[in-house]
Amino acid sequence: MHWMAEVRVQLRPGIADPEGMTIAGGLRALGFESVQNVRHGKLLQVSFDAPDANAARDAVAAMCRRLLANPVMEIATFELRAIGEPAEESRLA
Protein backbone atom coordinates (compact mmCIF):
# COMPACT_ATOMS: atom_id res chain seq x y z
CA MET A 1 0.00 0.00 0.00
CA HIS A 2 1.02 3.56 -0.66
CA TRP A 3 1.02 6.03 2.21
CA MET A 4 1.47 9.72 2.67
CA ALA A 5 2.73 10.99 6.00
CA GLU A 6 2.65 14.68 6.79
CA VAL A 7 5.24 15.23 9.49
CA ARG A 8 5.24 18.49 11.44
CA VAL A 9 8.46 19.43 13.20
CA GLN A 10 8.51 22.31 15.66
CA LEU A 11 10.85 23.66 18.28
CA ARG A 12 9.94 22.52 21.75
CA PRO A 13 7.78 24.95 23.71
CA GLY A 14 9.92 27.43 25.60
CA ILE A 15 12.79 27.46 23.09
CA ALA A 16 13.12 30.93 21.60
CA ASP A 17 11.91 30.97 17.99
CA PRO A 18 13.34 34.16 16.43
CA GLU A 19 11.94 33.27 12.99
CA GLY A 20 8.44 32.96 14.46
CA MET A 21 8.89 36.25 16.31
CA THR A 22 9.97 37.95 13.08
CA ILE A 23 6.93 36.59 11.24
CA ALA A 24 4.67 37.80 14.07
CA GLY A 25 6.24 41.25 13.76
CA GLY A 26 5.57 41.18 10.02
CA LEU A 27 1.91 40.34 10.56
CA ARG A 28 1.52 43.15 13.11
CA ALA A 29 3.20 45.57 10.72
CA LEU A 30 0.55 44.62 8.13
CA GLY A 31 -2.20 45.66 10.51
CA PHE A 32 -2.94 42.34 12.18
CA GLU A 33 -2.38 44.00 15.53
CA SER A 34 -4.02 41.23 17.52
CA VAL A 35 -1.28 38.72 16.60
CA GLN A 36 0.44 37.77 19.84
CA ASN A 37 2.79 35.01 18.84
CA VAL A 38 3.90 32.85 15.90
CA ARG A 39 5.80 29.58 16.22
CA HIS A 40 7.23 28.41 12.93
CA GLY A 41 8.12 24.87 11.94
CA LYS A 42 8.60 22.47 9.08
CA LEU A 43 6.14 20.33 7.16
CA LEU A 44 7.57 17.22 5.54
CA GLN A 45 5.44 15.16 3.15
CA VAL A 46 6.80 11.64 2.99
CA SER A 47 5.33 9.14 0.53
CA PHE A 48 6.29 5.53 0.98
CA ASP A 49 5.08 1.93 0.86
CA ALA A 50 4.09 -0.22 3.84
CA PRO A 51 1.91 -3.34 4.09
CA ASP A 52 -0.64 -1.92 6.55
CA ALA A 53 -1.45 1.07 8.77
CA ASN A 54 0.43 -0.23 11.80
CA ALA A 55 3.60 -0.83 9.82
CA ALA A 56 3.22 2.59 8.19
CA ARG A 57 2.84 4.30 11.58
CA ASP A 58 5.86 2.46 12.97
CA ALA A 59 7.90 3.42 9.93
CA VAL A 60 7.08 7.13 10.23
CA ALA A 61 7.75 7.10 13.96
CA ALA A 62 11.16 5.55 13.27
CA MET A 63 11.89 8.14 10.56
CA CYS A 64 11.08 10.92 13.02
CA ARG A 65 13.22 9.40 15.73
CA ARG A 66 16.24 8.66 13.56
CA LEU A 67 16.40 11.70 11.31
CA LEU A 68 13.44 14.01 10.82
CA ALA A 69 13.48 15.62 14.28
CA ASN A 70 16.16 16.19 16.88
CA PRO A 71 14.51 15.42 20.24
CA VAL A 72 16.96 17.75 22.00
CA MET A 73 15.11 20.76 20.61
CA GLU A 74 12.21 19.56 18.44
CA ILE A 75 8.93 17.73 18.62
CA ALA A 76 7.55 15.80 15.64
CA THR A 77 3.90 14.94 15.07
CA PHE A 78 2.42 13.32 11.98
CA GLU A 79 -0.75 12.47 10.11
CA LEU A 80 -0.93 9.42 7.94
CA ARG A 81 -3.24 8.59 5.06
CA ALA A 82 -3.41 5.81 2.49
CA ILE A 83 -3.19 6.93 -1.10
CA GLY A 84 -4.68 5.01 -3.99
CA GLU A 85 -2.97 3.76 -7.08
CA PRO A 86 -2.15 6.61 -9.46
CA ALA A 87 -5.00 7.41 -11.86
CA GLU A 88 -4.76 6.07 -15.41
CA GLU A 89 -4.26 9.55 -16.89
CA SER A 90 -1.25 10.35 -14.77
CA ARG A 91 0.36 7.04 -15.69
CA LEU A 92 0.14 8.03 -19.35
CA ALA A 93 1.94 11.31 -18.60
**Among positions 1, 4, 11, 46, the unique one binding other proteins when judged by CB under 8 A:** 11
Integer CA distances (angstroms), 90 to 20, 36, 93, in order = 38, 44, 5
**Among positions 27, 29, 53, 73, the unique one binding other proteins when judged by CB under 8 A:** 73
For position 77 contacting other proteins by CB under 8 A, the verdict is: no
From 84, 77, 83, select the one nearest 63 (Cα to Cα): 77
Residue 40 near residue 20, CB atoms below 8 Å? yes
For position 31 contacting other proteins by CB under 8 A, the verdict is: no
Residues that bind other proteins (CB under 8 A): 11, 15-16, 18-19, 22, 67-68, 70, 72-73
